């Protein structure tokens, strides 16, 4: 970690007249377990934070966490059985509750893969058009809106072939757009070769979600406010 921070700082300095480089981190939120985001930000002198939920807790025991990410759907299935008695509504509710807690308690800028809980579902346990699911997702989106966060449009599922679509789904992109919630395209790259994978498809999806009407494309910066892609002002 310190090496990564140091390298970014050196590149910031080297290219300061050509491009503004921001240093950020995706941080995990687990109720009662993870370090407050503000401390992480301060410790590493970060410009911005992306907050995300990957491990869902259903008890006070920090050992009992449902891992909803990673390449294996078997682990998702096992965790659901073990920690939520196989009750998908309970598991999904807890995922969104934990996300809501993160939004309310922590200071960060971008929400990571908003509906990652669907990745290993693969239409087996629930469908996204079920009313209970939509209600939970919309409550979280309302909170995102209230707090002025940016929603990440994450392409990783597609190029890793784990989920054939974006996080969030197009219906959520459309709702976010209606509410004026800014969105940012991200590949969630774990290697430089992945940096811009599926960006064109994501732009197209955002365009469609906006009813193929004009969207503004702009830059997020921490120096001065820019108009974001959907008309508001966003400064990190
Ligand atoms: Zn993540």
Query: pLDDT, tens digit, for every residue of 4-61?
Result: 999 999 999 999 999 989 999 999 999 989 999 999 999 999 999 999 999 999 987 8
Distance 30 CA to ligand 1 centre (A): 13
For the cut 50, the answer to whether the pLDDT of residue 224 exceeds it is no
Distance 184 CA to ligand 1 centre (A): 15
Beta carbons of 130 and 156 less than 8 angstroms apart: no
Total domains in the chain come to 1
For the cut 80, the answer to whether the pLDDT of residue 217 exceeds it is no
pLDDT in tens, 162-177: 898 999 999 999 999 9
Which pLDDT value is given to residue 63?
Answer: 83
Distance 213 CA to ligand 1 centre (A): 30
Distance 157 CA to ligand 1 centre (A): 11
CA distance 108 to 145: 13
Domain of residue 154 covers 2-234
> 212: domain CATH number?
3.20.20.140
The greatest distance separating any two alpha carbons of the chain, rounded to the nearest whole angstrom, comes to 56
pTM of the shown model: 0.90
CB within 8 A of 26, min separation 6: which ones? 49, 50, 51, 52, 112, 188
Distance 12 CA to ligand 1 centre (A): 25
Beta carbons of 229 and 185 less than 8 angstroms apart: no
Distance 53 CA to ligand 1 centre (A): 7
CA 206 from centre of chain: 16
Distance 234 CA to ligand 1 centre (A): 22
For the cut 80, the answer to whether the pLDDT of residue 234 exceeds it is no
Residues flanking ion ligand 1, Cβ below 5 Å: 52, 112
């Amino acid at each position: 970690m310190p090496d990564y921070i140091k390298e970014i700082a050196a590149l910031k300095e080297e290219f300061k007249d050509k491009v503004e480089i921001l240093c950020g981190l995706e941080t995990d939120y687990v109720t009662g377990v993870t370090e407050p985001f503000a401390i992480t930000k301060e410790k590493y002198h970060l410009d911005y934070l992306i907050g995300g939920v990957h491990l869902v807790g259903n008890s006070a025991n920090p050992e009992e966490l449902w891992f909803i990410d990673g390449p294996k759907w078997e682990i998702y299935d096992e965790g659901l059985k073990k920690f939520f008695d196989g009750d998908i509504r309970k598991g999904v509710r807890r995922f969104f509750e934990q996300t809501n807690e993160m939004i309310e308690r922590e200071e960060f800028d971008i929400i990571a893969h908003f509906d990652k809980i669907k990745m290993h579902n693969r239409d087996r346990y629930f469908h996204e058009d079920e009313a209970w699911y939509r209600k939970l997702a919309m409550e979280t989106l309302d909170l995102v809106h209230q707090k002025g966060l940016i929603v990440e449009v994450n392409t990783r599922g597609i190029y890793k072939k784990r989920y054939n679509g974006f996080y969030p789904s197009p219906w959520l992109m459309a709702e976010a757009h209606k509410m004026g919630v800014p969105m940012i395209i991200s590949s969630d790259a774990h290697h430089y070769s992945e940096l811009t994978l599926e960006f064109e498809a994501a732009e197209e999806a955002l365009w469609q979600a906006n009813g193929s009407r004009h969207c503004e494309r702009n830059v997020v910066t921490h120096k001065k406010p820019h108009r974001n892609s959907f008309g508001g002002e966003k400064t990190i």
